Structure formats: structure tokens, C-alpha cells
Amino acid sequence: MDRLLVLVRHGQSDWNLKNLFTGWKDPDLTDKGIGEAKAAGQRLKSLGLTFDVAFTSDLTRAQHTCRLILGELGQPTLTTIREQALNERDYGELSGLNKDDARAKWGEEQVHLWRRSYDVPPPGGESLKDTVARVLPYYCQEILPRVLRGERVIVAAHGNSLRALVMVLDGLTPATIPSMELDTGVPLVYRLKTDSTVDTKQVLSA
């Protein structure tokens, strides 16, 4: 039994390009992001991988990435479950702001704390801890059981929602997860043991 789980952060979005805090705002992919998503699909195809089900967030950039990957795999009609629990971290009042402008308004140290601490949320938004608290129950209830049954699962989502999963899978801590980065459009290929821990992990970099 394969117990395959693939995590992919969406390709570059328009707001990534503009250096804006995105969160639950809904910009689409740039041309570069479209290329990243297609390349991710091609790298998965080169390993001979196909999937039984896909999960994605309620946001356009993740859904578009998922469609492009499945298109490259020849699975454009694969069952795809959209779920708000997999959305990016909500940046609250920072959403839509240029990161340099935010530093000018609140100071470098404060913005760094909001971006890189585990449990300090920006005004009106979520901390990484808050994001973990909504992503992990959904993973445990809806995604992990499928993987352990032998279904091959792909999840196309966001930097912070996927960091919540990587934190558990890779055994990271609140002290180590904030510095962990996920590149856009780079699949993480996990194969799990029967006890849900990681057997192997492969990073499909360009």
C-alpha cells in the first residue's frame, strides 16, 4: 500500500509578485505562477504518480494550481474537495498592504514578530498557531484517513496552511516551524507508515 500524500504550495500569485500580504484575499496566479504549477505537475508525472482525490482551499490561487497540476497528470476531472480550513493564514489588517509599507507603519520589529512568531497574531488576523488549530483537525478527520486507506492524495494549498501539516509530518516545533519556508510550486512527496508517521519524504525542486 502506497499511503501517498503530496503537498504543493500554489504558484506565484499576483500579490506575491507585488510583495503584498495576501491572507484570505483572492488574487489569481501570475504567468510565472501558472508555469510553476504546470512544472509541478510535470515533475509528479515524471515519477509516474497519479491520484485518487485532491484537496484544495477556498481560494482561487490554490484551486488554479490544483487544476493545472491535474491537467498535466491527465486527470482534469479528478474529484477535488475545496475546504476553507485549508485557506492561507488570515493576515487581518495587514491583508492587501505592501510589506514595506507595513514596516513603515508599525516598525520592522513588530511586523517581523507578526510574520515569524508562532503565536502572535497581526491585528484582526491569525497567528500560525491559530492556523494550525484549524488545519490539523481537518487533516486528521478528512485527509489522513484516506491516505491510511491507501488512497493517493494531493493537497494544493498555501504556505502557512501547509506549514501546519509539515510541522506535524516533519516533527517540527513552535520554535522551529516559523523559520521553515515552502517554495511556490514545489511538491513535497510523503509516503506514510501505518501509524501515520513519515516513511519517506521527497522534495521535487525544479
10 catalytic residue (yes or no):
yes
Element (H, E) at 31: helix 31-46
β-pairing verdict for 188-192 and 4-9:
antiparallel
Q: What is the dihedral of CA 20, 204, 34, 144, to 10 degrees?
A: -80
Q: Which of 10, 72, 126, 158 is catalytic?
A: 10
Instruction: Tell me the Cα Rg of the chain.
Output: 16
**Residues forming a β-bridge with 200:** 191
Of 36, 64, 72, 88, the active-site residue reads 88
- Per DSSP, the residues of 102-170 read HHHHH-HHHHHHHHH-SS-PPTTS--HHHHHHHHHHHIIIIIHHHHHTT--EEEEE-HHHHHHHHHHHT
By three-state DSSP, how is residue 32 classified?
helix
Rounded CA separation 90/84 (Å): 11
Burial of 14 (0-12, 13-18, 19+ CB in 10 A): middle
User: Which residues are the active-site residues?
Assistant: 10, 88
